Amino acid sequence: MGVVRDLQSAVAGARGARRGSLIFTVRAGLVLAALVPPLAGLLLFARDGRRGYRLVRRCARAVVRLSGVRVTVDGLQHVPTGTHAMFVSNHSSLADAAILLAALPLDFRFVANHVFAGYPLLGAAIRAASYHIVDRGSWRSRAECGRSMVDALRAGQSLLVFPEGTTSNVDGLLPFRSGAFRAAVSSGASVVPIAITGTRDLLPPDRLWLAPVPVRIEVLPPVTPSSAGGREAVTALRETVAAAIRRRLDLQQ
């Protein structure tokens, strides 16, 4: 009976955490209010992109630590050593980018949506941590972004892309867009899938309160694009990576 009561208590606690916590929300809000405005000011005086990126990464780590967000990272042994890569992750919350930036000990830049980059204060941090800002509603912007990603990868810069293009209010993956995979095929860069869970409950899209739930990041084995190139290679790479992430999400949920 004691085991049953303990299990019921744990389940009730998890449900309560998913509903949100006023204390956790206030704590996170105070941390953001204390750190983000000074960061935006410092970024105005950052002399180069590398310095701005370091400032944003330190701020992201401080926000995660001081807010009390619990993050675990598995699979770092799958990250290619001594070379660059295209990292792609599922995208279920606005918190994804900050947590990935804070938790992954990797040198990468984001390809970010122009909508998020336009946010007051936070937009400055997003722009500083991004290699390219893309307007997904503009074919010119998408084409320019594609060329920019290829140039970055060929120059040895690792990138992180959310190929769903936006967040969703439902479980599961939205269809993956092809841009990141086309750039990987064109440059010959390996694609490293990343599965992140917990962030949708941490920052629910339909509620005011944040929830103190654990976040898990799992880095999956890299996928090498076909040397044959062409549309078939892009499609195969995209579907292989999407299937790998989907399998991990099904196991973790």
Q: Give the pLDDT confidence of 127-175 residue by residue, as tens digits.
A: 777 666 666 667 777 778 888 889 989 999 999 999 998 777 667 788 9
Q: Say how many C-beta atoms besides its own lie within 10 A of residue 118's C-beta.
A: 12
Task: Walk across the sheet containing 215-219 and list its strands.
Answer: 71-74, 215-219, 191-197, 86-89, 158-161, 108-113, 130-134
pLDDT at residue 207, rounded to an integer: 76
Tell the residue number behind the tokens 């750190």, with chain if given. 35
Range name among 31-35, 141-145, 201-205, 236-240 with the lowest pLDDT average: 141-145
Joined together, the tokens standing for residue 76 give 């770092």
Contact between 234 and 187 under an 8 Å Cβ cutoff? The reply is no
* Distance (Å, whole) CA 110 – CA 88: 10
Range name among 46-55, 177-186, 223-232 with the lowest pLDDT average: 46-55
pLDDT at residue 4, rounded to an integer: 37
* Distance (Å, whole) CA 72 – CA 51: 27
pLDDT at residue 137, rounded to an integer: 66
What angle, rounded to 10 degrees, do the helices at 49-67 and 22-44 form? 160
Is residue 48 pLDDT above 80, yes or no?
no
pLDDT at residue 136, rounded to an integer: 65
pLDDT at residue 216, rounded to an integer: 97
Q: Which of 130, 197, 190 is nearest to 160 (CA)?
A: 130
* Distance (Å, whole) CA 126 – CA 55: 11
pLDDT tens per residue, range 91-116: 988 899 999 999 999 889 888 776 56
Q: Give the single-character DSSP code of 195.
A: E
